[in-house]
Structure 1
Amino acid sequence: MVLQRHGDRGQTVVDFDLDTVAYLRSDAGTQTLLDVDGYALTDNTRVSDIASIRRQFGDHASALIETVLLRRRATTKFADPSQWLFTDDALQQATAQPVAEHRARRLAGACVHDVTCSIGAELAALRTSARYVVGSDIDPVRLAMARHNVADVVLCRADALRPVTRDAVVLADPARRSAGRRRFDPLGYTPPLDRLFDVYRGRDLVVKCAPGIDFDELTRMGFDGEVEITSLQGSVREACLWSRGLAEPGVRRRATVLDSAEQITDADPDDCPVAPAGRWIVDPDGAVVRAGLVRHYAARYGLWQLDPDIAYLSGDRLPDGVRGFEVLEEIGYSEKRLRQALAGHDAGAVEILVRGVDVDPDALRKRMKLRGTQQLSVVLTRIGSGKASRATAFVCRASR
């Protein structure tokens, strides 16, 4: 039986059962999915398309439509998800393929057990680099999907908190969603993060977590390894915890920017002065900021901080491949002054970056009422502390 519910985005979500997965994996299901994929299923055609699919395929229609739509959504994470099976929650939490491949490279040559394998996203990357791979999950439906998605990997049904392997590196991706809703407390993960640490204490362990996880909370739970923050396509994707035996000696925090194949760690130099703005302002990648490695990034590229507590950096030369903001004018911030400055530079459109100032960029942009022809940027931040603190706006031209 296929059940439906409403997801956290208000959409109808199908809850699959084993019989439905078996049908989708069959030759008949495979062919029918190809037929359903021929429908546009856009906002303009969805009602008529769904009615037609239901007339043709009856009780299977909901699962077929859901699978086709999930495969289309999955193209943002996978190079070719056209043959994969997903649930909505599993796709939302599935690791993007480039991120999974990066992690697999760090585990090259190892024997790895993914104890929360879900529909197999991590296994698909690991099978090409690890010496041996096994996956397990407690959810029989996701496990059945994984048997379809990564048919060449050994799989078994098991509780992640009841070890069924020895010696292998343990990879875990605790569920951070329940019925489509996010969980932010690591003690509320499934399984809870502290229980994972306890059960696998003394073993090599890799745990994928939400990027906003509290580093101090990890320390309180006894974690003493490396926290790697990874970004892809300008977005911070995850925090990955590497136990001490898998971490690089002396490294506790790492920022990995997959777009540029760049890594910064807390073992790198962090000599970074604080000084007024030079020619360029740089907003470091979110992984660098989240990992607390702004000073280390600045030291690598000869940049400096505008303020010791703000992540914006400045320099007279822009690092290769980095988007920066060339300073045209610096003003003490007020809406009136900013409007006058933008008018003086013939601004007709503006992006607004804000740190340390309580301003809504979208609302401020509308209030500027720009009528010029130039595309400009505004970097709005707070400089100084205490009575010397001041909101400052930099009118800039972006490098790209």
Structure 2
Amino acid sequence: MLPHPVTAEALADAAAEPDPGSLAAAQRLRRHHPPEVAAAALEQVTLRRRASGKFGDRAASLFFTRDGLEQATRPSVAAHHAGRFVLAGVRRVIDLGCGIGSDAMAFAEAGLEVIAVERDPHTAEIAAANLAGRAEVITGDAEEVADALIGAGDGVFLDPARRTTSGRLWRTEDFTPRWAFVTALLDGSRTVGIKLGPALPHREIPAAVEAEWVSDRGETVEVSLWSGPGSVPDSRSALIMPDHRLVADRTGGRPAVAGPGRFLYEPDGAVIRSGAITVLGEELGAWLLDDQIAYLSADRLTPTPYATAFEISEVLPYSEKILRRWVHDHDIGRLEIKKRGIDGDPAALRRRLKPAGDQEATMIISRTPVGARVLIGRRVR
């Protein structure tokens, strides 16, 4: 089933276009297809090519909307969501606000019965095309249909709409469905998963709910809230896909603060957002360079999936004159600049330093106990 008004012939013609977003491509397709069919096919091919970074080769057989692609769950993370329901003993999942169906597809592939709900009729049609009969898709408002759909033993998944035509929404009170509806689902009576943006403040997380920050391929992509069977109440954790988990210590302790050691660790975003940096510091025997900055340092190297390690060769004052001379003297051409807690644009600084040689280096700019310093590092692979 293809979403209206796309046809297989128009999709094939659009896929043959090197630049489906160009005026020339639109003119060529309109010679053989009605304007609305040509436009829809070109839009799908454009979105499929954009989606390849998130969905890989699978993108070529899926359908998207622009907003749906932005909010869609990566297949690996969706499979993780599905696995949580399976481990909790759930047999049917009610996916409230399914979008283009990325999570619903993973639920169905995991052997779960799925009812997917989407408020926007066009997006619901896209979801139905992607699910291809593997789940029931209902067009409706999650708040209005939830009571009628959710039965005893059902799991519930919800990815609230966090975008409008004006852009991304940041305040929970602006989400759809209403935040009060979302949090009411997390009462512990059934297995419930709520997918949210990773910047969700800890203060917004209801009591006794598990919060799991997820990083995939180096990018922190979400925080999911879980309650009911299969969840760990009142826990905060970082999950580095596929299976590295670091649970935060909720006692409020922090690592000591000291100057740079031989190695610097840049923790993964999920570790930072979950508050697990203290636990990571203990595992690495590391300290902070500044109490408010998420750089850890140590004198010995400990392999870890939770941070990127750099071996520090020099520590310089934060002076552009000194840095420019260092770049020149060391024949640096490929220069990576990282910073935390210091004002300024790394890209602009890099241009001013004028790297033009054959060597490469990483500069890490941070506050330290003795002021701003630049750590010259080599990424440890």
Cα distance change of structure 1 residues 128 and 302 upon mapping to structure 2, 3 Å threshold: farther
1:263 aligns with 2:245: yes
Q: Deviation digits for residues 2-48 of structure 1, max 9, x if unmatched?
A: xxxxxxxxxxxxxxxx9x93443xxxx123312221111267xx222
Query: Quick one: structure 1 residues 391 and 368, their matched pair in 2 at CA, closer, same or farther if it must change by over 3 Å?
Result: same
Tell me the amino acid that sits aligned with residue 38 of structure 2.
Answer: A
The CA distance in 1 between the partners of 2:280 and 2:228, in whole Å, is: 24
Corresponding residue for residue 283 of structure 1: 266
1:182 and 2:168 aligned: yes
| 1:207 maps to 2:224 | no
Question: How big is the shift at 1:194?
Answer: 2.2
**Structure 2 counterparts to residues 339-350 of structure 1, below 5 A:** 339-350=324-335
What is the aligned counterpart of 2:94 among 103, 113, 125?
A: 113
For 1:61, which of 38, 63, 70 is the aligned residue?
38
Deviation of residue 174 (structure 1)?
Answer: 0.8
- 8 Å Cα contact 2:340-2:366 kept in structure 1: yes
* TM-score, normalised with respect to structure 2: 0.88
Partner in structure 2 of residue 3 of structure 1: none
| 1:199-242 Cα shifts (integer Å, max 9, x gaps) | 66454321111111111133xxx443011111122211111111
1:36 maps to which residue? 14
Counterpart residue type for residue 77 of structure 1: K
Is the CA contact (8 Å cut-off) linking 1:75 and 1:81 kept in structure 2? yes
- For the 8 Å contact 1:138–1:158, the answer to whether it is kept is yes
* Residue matched to 1:357: 342
With structure 1 as the length reference, what TM-score do the two structures score? 0.84
Write the deviation string for residues 319-366 of structure 1: whole angstroms up to 9, x where unpaired: 156642211111232222222333443323311110111121111111
Aligned residue pairs: how many? 367
Cα drift, residue 178 of structure 1:
1.1
Residue 120 (structure 1) shift = 0.9
Cα gap change, 1:51 to 1:247, in 2 (>3 Å): same
1:94 maps to 2:61: no
Cα contact 2:113–2:135 (8 A) shared by 1: no
Question: 2: CA distance between counterparts of 1:266 and 1:67?
Answer: 42
**Residue in 2 aligned with 1:125?**
106
Gaps of 5+ in 1: 1-17
Map Cα deviations across residues 263-307 of structure 1 (whole Å, 9 max, x no partner). 111159978443332221111111111212112122223333223
Matches within 5 A, 1:66-77: 66-77=43-54
Q: How far apart, CA to CA, are the structure 1 residues paired with 2:125 and 2:195? A: 22
1:107 is paired with a residue whose SS is helix
RMSD over aligned CA atoms reads: 2.5
Please list, as runs of the form range in 1=range in 2, the aligned pairs for 1:1-400 lying within 5 A after superposition.
21-24=3-6, 29-41=7-19, 46-59=22-35, 60-79=37-56, 80-108=58-86, 109-110=89-90, 111-129=92-110, 131-150=112-131, 151-162=133-144, 163=146, 164-167=149-152, 168-179=154-165, 181-198=167-184, 201-204=187-190, 205-218=192-205, 222-243=206-227, 245-249=229-233, 251-258=234-241, 261-267=243-249, 272-315=255-298, 316-319=300-303, 323-384=308-369, 390-400=371-381
Quote the residue 1:4 is aligned against: none
Secondary structure at the counterpart of residue 34 of structure 2: helix
